[in-house]
Structures are given as structure tokens and as C-alpha cells.
Amino acid sequence: MPCFLGACALALTLGAPASADDFFFSAGEPDGLMAAASRPESRGKIEIEAADDFILAAPTLLDRATFTGLLFHGGPGEIRQVRVEIYRVFPNDSDTTRTIQVPTRTNSPSDVALADRSTADGNLQFTATVLDSHFPVANSVINGIRPSPDQFTGGEGAVAGQEIRFDVEFDPPFDLSADHFFFVPQVQLQGQGGNFLWLSAPRPGPQFPGDLQMWIRNANLDPDWLRVGTDIVDGASPPTFNGSFSLSGETQ
């Protein structure tokens, strides 16, 4: 059967794979206002997860990320594990019938993670770069993560430590649909004294339409989450925080 030019062109167009576009998102550089603990469970330490959100407008393969934090009472040589988790927004992946032990779950991360990558599982590689040997931060949340009605602590005060940027690669990449997600970086340090504290980024207001704020929980609060600014720091005009991180990949 003869192939007419228009029909052949249409067939080639329909059969061609969709072109991929580069994806990049950044929440900004550290502002020195908040440092929130985020670590996997290890000997003598319960798990702590700090989370901040991002939105994908199209299905995306995320293969790289950066995040910046303090090594508080520790140095790069004490890093034992790096882990990144992706959560969806509540009520996805969550039990909505249980009684919560926090002021609200609206706009929080879900109960359970959607996906994760870690050095322990061999699907995450990282480099750690010291940006500042003594970076001061005005306030912190490390141990004061408590259920209602005792969630307000005002924070645990100023801290300082080595400012470290982690550049991570995911293999395989996170294969995510168009949706609203939370990014959770965790770093395990050797010994019981040191902690990784994720640094906040400027948030004079929502960074993008739908921008939420930094949330946190520990193993005792799980599966609930608290807002670092609104619930824990609180006050007459509660602050809100973003986390300092970036994401790179390709849209599908």
C-alpha cells in the first residue's frame, strides 16, 4: 500500500519518544535562623526526620540532590550513613481514622514514606563539602519534639558547627508522578554525641504557590508530625521555615 507523505509524517510523530526536559528546583541557601535534627535510627539514638516540600508539575526522574546542614559535635569523618526519603502530603499513605497527637496534620507529610535511597542500601552516593568551619544558627530543634499539648518549647537555642553541603546521586533515580511531595534528608554520625542539623532557607513568604513549611518528628511522635515554626517555636508571630536543598533530574 502506498504511504502518503502526511500519513507517514503522522506515524513518525506518534511513534517518536517524548523529549525529556531538565528539571531543577532550589529552596535557597541557608539563612542561619533554624537548624533541625534529621538522622536515621542508630545505637543510642532514635530516628528524627525533618521535611520540606516541593511540587512536580510533570512526571520526573530525580537523580541528584543537594542539602546543607550543620555537623553539630561531629565532623565529616564521622559520617556513617546518608539517607533521603520522599513523602507525599497527608492524607496520602496515612491512617486517617486514628486520633492524632499533634495540633494538626493538614499539609503535613504522610504517615509513611513513598520511597527512599540510602548509602546503606547501596542506591545513594554522596560527597560532603565543608562550606564554613563555624556556622552560627539562631535556634535549633533536636530533642524537644513532643506530642500535644506540650509541643511548644520555643526551640532549643543557638547552635554552631561545621556547615556541610551534601551532593547526592540516586541510582536508580526516584521515579515520581506529578504531585506534591516532601524531601527528607538524614545523616548518621558515629557515636552518641553528634547530630546532623538541617539548615533552614529564607522564607519571607511562600516560595511558590502551595509552598508549605518545614515539619519534623521523632520515633516517639511517629506517625504524626509537628511544624518546626508554628508548633514548636510558636510565639505571638510564629516563624515558618524552609529547608536548604535542591533537586535535579528530567521530566518524562
Instruction: Encode pLDDT of 80-97 as tens digits.
Output: 999 999 999 999 999 999
Helix, strand, coil percent content, the chain, rounded in steps of 5: 10, 45, 45
Burial status of residue 226 (CB atoms within 10 A of its CB: 0-12, 13-18, 19 or more): buried
Q: Please say if the pLDDT value at position 18 is more than 70.
A: no
Model confidence band, residue 75 (pLDDT cutoffs 50, 70, 90): confident
Domain boundaries, the chain: 20-251
pTM here? 0.91
Q: Please say if the pLDDT value at position 195 is more than 60.
A: yes
pLDDT of residue 4: 42
- Average pLDDT for 152-163: 96
Residues β-bridged to residue 125: 169
Closest by Cα among 56, 173, 78, 158 to 123: 173
Under DSSP, the state recorded for 108 is -
Question: What CA–CA distance (Å, rounded) separates 50 from 207?
Answer: 18
Q: Please say if the pLDDT value at position 124 is more than 90.
A: yes
Q: Is 48 helix (H, G, I), strand (E, B) or coil?
A: strand
Question: What CA–CA distance (Å, rounded) separates 233 from 49?
Answer: 17
pLDDT of residue 226: 98
